[in-house]
Structure 1
């Protein structure tokens, strides 16, 4: 009897424990459902009954839309500038016409032709991540890399320069976001191309002497960042079409 009673108590204890565990499970499920309800209610309040994803800013979409706006405004600006040039030319014998043309050349408001260097910088292949100690950030052409090349070219006597398909001047400002380039409101992806007219030998030597260019070339050899330099016998760069007003971005 004692043995049977002991087994009975053991079985009852086990049954009670199982019932308690099932009760706790039901309570846990209920709590999860309550929390889900709170989260759904909060989500509804935040999104105003719509999709939060729809309300969040799509950075790429915003930049592309801004780029289209900038292109439209740039075309309008070019049209108005052409009208101004036409009116200026109509002023027969104007004493300031020659001086105005000289200033236009100096600040980049006219086309320039001549021998040039074309430099192409590209991101490294993703396979380079297999190199020990390499991080994704090491495979990207950064803003300071472009600045190193551009500053060296100006120091080497560059007369006119174009970044991607836009003429740039000394006051031009650009920003890199991830592996995209923001220039005059437009968004560009690599490869990044710099075309520059000027003394070929001097500009090439300036690139060799620039510490920033040297640092980039170290990573060219290490992870495979791209660098291609071509000499062009002659090329024509378009006139600068951006604003000549100094902005906070350009001054930064």
Structure 2
């Protein structure tokens, strides 16, 4: 009968010395271990019947200690077990990465190619800021409505005082004569051909701030930059090649309008040394930074609609009306 196990057949001979019951070799003859015994020895020992030969069969898969024939099978088994453990682990880790990415993106695209140029990025961020400003305006209107309905006398007194300060704070529209100042970078051909410092050929945030501060100093009752009403807490800062106002980036040219008495506004600009240096640079052909001053007979500037810095608030205790 065929078998995959190794089979070894051996006929063992054993020589045993010493007396045994019956003939000395009778047990060897009975088991058929003494194949070289004389023909008559079997019957002389008192046994009859055919002789039997003991066949030793060894079945197993133990490898040869010299060659290690079965070692590849054990290695293959270890590799198979390793793959069975590694594959599920890899799938679990991949799932964890997908979940973490989805959680961190919050529904947005994390790929670096989301925007192909700066203009697209600026446009998208500007839309988001505009949407947030509309939401803030709606919430502020709701706050004003709820505040107006409060019957507490202290609240009424404080609200009346705040209403008298709204024009000075920039929360109401303002009309009157004005000065319009336009700042712009030097033309591209001048920038490319000039040996002057390029920083003197472009408009910086400090240039805009100098004009705004001079207009305030000249008695302006309202100022806009790029059509946006600014107040004392408005932030103006450079961000790359654009200037941000309350987080919204604007490119040049920068148009600044200040409402007030024209003579006082002009005198304040003429008295500012920083602005005079800027005007001097604008008159040099190899710098040619943009400066334009235009008087306006009458204009209406919108009220400030941006965010207001609220540091803290506390609930007033109700007091009975007197």
TM-score by length of 2: 0.54
* Higher RCO structure (Cα 8 Å, ≥6 apart): 1
Question: Which runs of no fewer than 5 residues in structure 1 stay unpaired?
Answer: 1-51, 248-252
More helix by share: 1
**1:74 counterpart residue number:** 133
Residue 80 (structure 1) shift: 2.3
Residue 210 (structure 1) shift: 0.7
Alpha-carbon distance in structure 2 between the residues aligned to 1:246 and 1:87: 17
**1:106 counterpart residue number:** 168
Where does 1:170-249 land on structure 2 (aligned, <5 Å)?
170-222=232-284, 223-245=287-309
Alpha-carbon distance in structure 1 between the residues aligned to 2:135 and 2:310: 20
Deviations 1:202-234 (CA, angstroms, capped at 9, x unpaired)? 111110111110111111011222211121122
Deviations 1:13-37 (CA, angstroms, capped at 9, x unpaired)? xxxxxxxxxxxxxxxxxxxxxxxxx
Residue 119 (structure 1) shift: 0.9
Alpha-carbon distance in structure 1 between the residues aligned to 2:141 and 2:262: 32
**1:155 counterpart residue number:** 217
Alpha-carbon distance in structure 1 between the residues aligned to 2:141 and 2:173: 14
Alpha-carbon distance in structure 1 between the residues aligned to 2:307 and 2:296: 29
Alpha-carbon distance in structure 2 between the residues aligned to 1:80 and 1:215: 44
Question: Which runs of no fewer than 5 residues in structure 2 stay unpaired?
Answer: 1-110, 312-322
Alpha-carbon distance in structure 1 between the residues aligned to 2:192 and 2:142: 57
Count of aligned pairs: 197
Deviations 1:94-126 (CA, angstroms, capped at 9, x unpaired)? 444532211222211111111111111111111
Alpha-carbon distance in structure 2 between the residues aligned to 1:126 and 1:56: 26
